[in-house]
A and B are shown apart, each in its own frame.
Chain A
Amino acid sequence: MLNMQPSLLSVDSIALSFGGLLAVDRVSFAVESGQIFSIIGPNGAGKTTIFNCISGFYAPNTGNISFNGHAIEGRSSHKIAKYGLVRTFQNIRLFKEMTVLENLLVAQHNIANRNLISGIIKLPQYRKAESEALDKAEYWLYQLGLTAFANREANSLAYGQQRTLEIARCMVTEPTMLLLDEPAAGLNPKETEELDELIVQLRDMYGITVLLIEHDMKLVMNISDRILVLDQGRVIANDLPSEVQSDPAVISAYLGEEE
């Protein structure tokens, strides 16, 4: 085949233990550019831990992770984010007491004009950079329907809006890949549907590759190109949605967990 392009993100046999607990056990998978790739698994399976390894919050004990040609395992998280890989958190982490707009401006820190002198005396290039940052923030507020809340404190938003804001905050950094940790948790069915559309839209219109952790099976099955199933830190399936649904190992893992 001609298409020998390496995967955008490849995780190669990473493992991480906390004390005696092996939270992630030799997990490997690869995400191709433009995919929506989902990770599912029962509580405590190690999904978030994998996210933390990829985004640099934990350093895996062994294994390699590469993103867009960079080896990123054990790198500091802010560097990884600079490569274009940003994430949301299972328990929303907004800058709570700052306004919605400020949240989006802060996120553009690395593209902002940070020259102190030009900021203090408001040089034209500084004004221009700030105005552009504001434009971009407004653009995403508009796209995600948050314009009316621009000057409200982030923690005054409804839960679903906070989740959306977290995604908006990622998007203003102009990422290549987005890691979403249970974005539908706590949303009502209507909101979940909107989220579903949004994720597809992010991929289709903005070319974002998405790695998604989700418990909402409907959402996952609808939009994923590929699904990785974890149980107790191990990969038990890595396949197309239709195949995963009928995989006996997956069914038993889930039946053992729930009900």
Chain B
Amino acid sequence: MQLLEQILNGITLGSIYALIAIGYTMVYGVIGMINFAHGEVYMVGAFVGLIVMTILSSIGASLVPVYLIAMLLIAILVSSVLGWSIERVAYRPLRGKHRLIPLISAIGMSFFLQNFMQLSQGPRPFAVKQLIPGSFTVSESFSISYMQILIPVVTLVFMVLFTYFISKTKLGVACRATEQDRRMANLLGINTDTIISVIFVIGASLAAVAGVLVSLYYGTVRDTMGFIIGIKAFTAAVLGGIGSIPGAMLGGFVLGFTESFASAYIGGDYKDIVSFVLLLLILLVLPSGLLGKAEIEKV
């Protein structure tokens, strides 16, 4: 039964990583930088979720779907604004400068958000009430909590929405065109600045969804929660092939499974190391990732 449990864990973790990894991969695809602050957007999303939940419960709301939808939507709203502002304030003025420069700015932004949240709410974890307690029993030694079902389902819903957006809508197609060749897209009359903003907004929304889900699953939220998970989701994006959206989803799940098995069989203390070693290995053997295509840098 342990195997099944790990598989379930893997799916849960993988969903989270996949949601966050999409933001990394899209931003990297279009402006070629690691958005270090992305993990912090996720963290802010989680906090907003908690605040919305607390407000709802103090005004006496009781329906679970109301909670869930309100938390998700408002977290998405706030995170979108955040993602948009981050790009406007910290990255856009730095376009075309040496690669190092936006990277340092991104680190600064990541730290700023973390400390901003720490100063406004305090440097400690906050408990999140269980929204959907209970589980459903399969056999005596094995049960699946409702949260473990909810997470993949919500993830699936957002992935489907996202896939629809990116492949069917005009804006989505413009996003992909911009990712493939920004100059060309610009020549074709696409306002690439707007598209870049849209990409930040979408990435941030998915991260906010992940933030809300995680806070419900683990029952806690804190200022530092975005940092490690950010690195891991980036690992997932690299694993799948940076720049590739299906790659980010796949990479997220591969990493989720690897980690859940690693923490079961090697020990929880070392699970962060596993993903790091995985990252090093991919970069060594398969730098373009599972689904990415090897690009020849134009000289």
User: Are A and B associated in one complex?
Assistant: yes
Residues of A within 8 A of B (CB): 18, 48, 52, 57-58, 89
**Which 7 pairs between the two chains have the least Cβ-Cβ distance?**
A57-B299, A52-B299, A58-B296, A18-B296, A89-B299, A58-B299, A48-B299
Chain A, residue nearest B98 (CB): A97
The DSSP consensus for interface residues of chain B is loop
A253–B296 Cα gap in the complex (Å)?
28
A18–B299 Cα gap in the complex (Å)?
13
CB-defined interface of B61-98 with A at 8 Å, one 1/0 digit per residue?
00000000000000000000000000000000000000
- 7 A-B pairs with CB atoms under 8 Å apart are A18-B296, A48-B299, A52-B299, A57-B299, A58-B296, A58-B299, A89-B299
Interface bracket on B: under 10
A48–B296 Cα gap in the complex (Å)?
14
Q: Which of B267-299 contact A (CB under 8 A)?
A: 296, 299
A57–B297 Cα gap in the complex (Å)?
9
A18–B295 Cα gap in the complex (Å)?
9
A30–B299 Cα gap in the complex (Å)?
23
Interfacial chain B residues near A57, Cβ < 8 Å: 299
Chain B, residue nearest A97 (CB): B98
Distance to closest chain B CB from A229 (angstroms): 23
Interfacial chain B residues near A18, Cβ < 8 Å: 296
Interfacial chain A residues near B296, Cβ < 8 Å: 18, 58
Interfacial chain B residues near A58, Cβ < 8 Å: 296, 299
A226–B296 Cα gap in the complex (Å)?
31
Distance to closest chain B CB from A23 (angstroms): 10
Chain B, residue nearest A52 (CB): B299
Interfacial chain B residues near A52, Cβ < 8 Å: 299
A58–B298 Cα gap in the complex (Å)?
9
A48–B298 Cα gap in the complex (Å)?
10
A174–B296 Cα gap in the complex (Å)?
29
A58–B299 Cα gap in the complex (Å)?
9
A131–B296 Cα gap in the complex (Å)?
40
Interfacial chain B residues near A48, Cβ < 8 Å: 299
Distance to closest chain B CB from A40 (angstroms): 20
Chain A, residue nearest B295 (CB): A18
A18–B296 Cα gap in the complex (Å)?
8
